[in-house]
């Protein structure tokens, strides 16, 4: 088994087709995820500190029509807020 994993990330309000991949070590926590997301999407986040991001786990549609829809975390029944571990 690999010690790394890849997550598909979408910025709230963006189309699922704008998803980007973030690779993490399996021992990473939510803080590590936030750091990677800010580094990968720095043009979007600018000077925002990674610790101020809200991260959510949602199911992203994979069919072509649904991938054009905007992802809004509040509209997902299956959303779950990811909290930092200490």
Contacts of 6 (CB under 8 A, 6+ apart): 21, 22, 23, 24
71 secondary structure, DSSP code: P
Quote the DSSP letter at residue 75.
G
Residue 37: predicted pLDDT? 94
Tokens 């101020």 sit at which residue?
Answer: 52
pLDDT at 22 exceeding the cut of 90: yes
Q: What is the pLDDT of residues 35-82, one digit of tens each?
A: 999 999 988 888 889 999 988 887 766 666 665 566 655 555 556 677
Average pLDDT over residues 6-12: 89
């Amino acid at each position: 088994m690999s010690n790394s994993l890849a997550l598909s990330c979408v910025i709230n309000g963006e189309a699922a087709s704008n998803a980007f991949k973030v690779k993490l070590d399996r021992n990473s926590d939510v803080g590590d995820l936030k750091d990677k997301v800010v580094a990968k999407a720095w043009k979007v986040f600018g000077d925002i500190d990674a610790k101020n991001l809200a991260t959510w786990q949602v199911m992203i549609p994979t069919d072509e029509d649904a991938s054009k829809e905007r992802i809004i975390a509040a509209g997902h029944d299956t959303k779950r807020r990811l909290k930092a571990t200490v």
